[in-house]
Amino acid sequence: MKNAELADLQISGFGSVPGGEYKSVKIYGRGKITGDVICDDFVINGSGDIIGAMACKQLIVNGSGQMEGNVHASVLKVHGSANFGTSIKADDVSISGAATAKGGLDAQTVKISGSAKFKGNVNAESFSSTGRFEIDGLLNAENVDVRLDWSTSRATEIGGETITVMSGTKGLSLISIVTLGTHNPRLEAGLIEGERIILENTTAKVVRGNHITIGDGCDIALVEYKGSFHKSGNAKVGEERKA
């Protein structure tokens, strides 16, 4: 069946339908789909449960979504709340709401301005965050750019070509005012390894790379470097070794 002949699926109230191949799927009320779904666009504006795998060009969650099977999408956007039962494969991922996944994530680009939790490895060409993330595994990306502002982010390990972790708050933020200046957003990791590494407000057991700069707010047990190493501000480094 050609794509032009595929039907659209829309659930506006309460409904449960079987899986299948559609042109577009839109859920405005509370909908449940039992079975695998293949479509161009899948939009959840209400509450949606998908008991099966998903393959679509674009998946947008504005409301609340529960995906039980594997998800494969060219574009994945989470503005609301999304729970993924297994792993995710996508080209471009944007999370401005809250997303959790019991598996890992394979993507080209990942942008987090909300909250994300992954029980597995995250692999990407580019990973950027101005929000909060927890990765129970390896965060592996060619470029990792983390701007800390309002919370603590964690990863078991972080690897990449260029890794930059900076304090995102400039001057007095609303959070700093409310907490009387005690708010201290951080990145926590066991191992951080890359070619070029610049860190602020980071706690790690080992930082290993070629060119490393450890800045304000850092507490690093061991730094191993091949090329250059710079420590500035109130950074704490337990031990440094030149390979």
| pLDDT score recorded for residue 176 | 40
pLDDT range class, residue 168, cuts 50, 70, 90 = confident
| Average pLDDT for 180-187 | 67
Q: Which of 146, 152, 192, 142 is nearest to 165 (CA)?
A: 146
- Residue 76's Cβ-side half-sphere holds a number of Cα atoms within 13 Å equal to 29
d(CA 224, CA 33): 51
Does the global pTM surpass 0.75?
yes
User: 11-58, pLDDT tens digit by residue?
Assistant: 998 999 999 999 999 999 999 999 999 999 999 999 999 999 999 999
Q: Which of 166, 183, 171, 105 is nearest to 140 (CA)?
A: 105
Instruction: Please state, for a pLDDT cut of 90, what percent of the chain lies above it.
Output: 87
| Average pLDDT for 129-147 | 98
Q: What is the mean pLDDT of the chain?
A: 92
> Of 94-103, 140-149, 183-192, where does mean pLDDT reach its minimum?
183-192
| pLDDT score recorded for residue 4 | 58
Please report where in the chains the tokens 């659209």 appear, as a residue.
8
Question: Three-state SS string across the chain, please?
Answer: CCHHHCCCEEECCEEEEEEEECCEEEECCEEEEEEEEEEEEEEECCEEEEECCEEEEEEEECCEEEECCCEEEEEEEECCEEEECCCEEEEEEEECCEEEECCCEECCEEEECCEEEECCCEEEEEEEECCEEEEEEEEEEEEEEEEECCCCEEEEEEEEEEEEEEECCCCCCHHHHHCCCCCCCCEEEEEEEEEEEEECCEEEEEEEEEEEEECCCCEEEEEEEEEEEEECCCCEEEEEEEC
Instruction: Please state, for a pLDDT cut of 70, what percent of the chain lies above it.
Output: 92
Does residue 3 carry a pLDDT above 70?
no
Does residue 181 carry a pLDDT above 80?
no
Does residue 183 carry a pLDDT above 70?
no
For the chain, what are the domain ranges? 1-103, 122-243
| Average pLDDT for 225-237 | 96
Q: Which of 217, 216, 199, 200 is nearest to 208 (CA)?
A: 199
User: 66-78, pLDDT tens digit by residue?
Assistant: 999 999 999 999 9
| pLDDT score recorded for residue 213 | 98
| Average pLDDT for 132-141 | 98
| Average pLDDT for 97-109 | 97
Does residue 2 carry a pLDDT above 70?
no
| Average pLDDT for 109-131 | 97
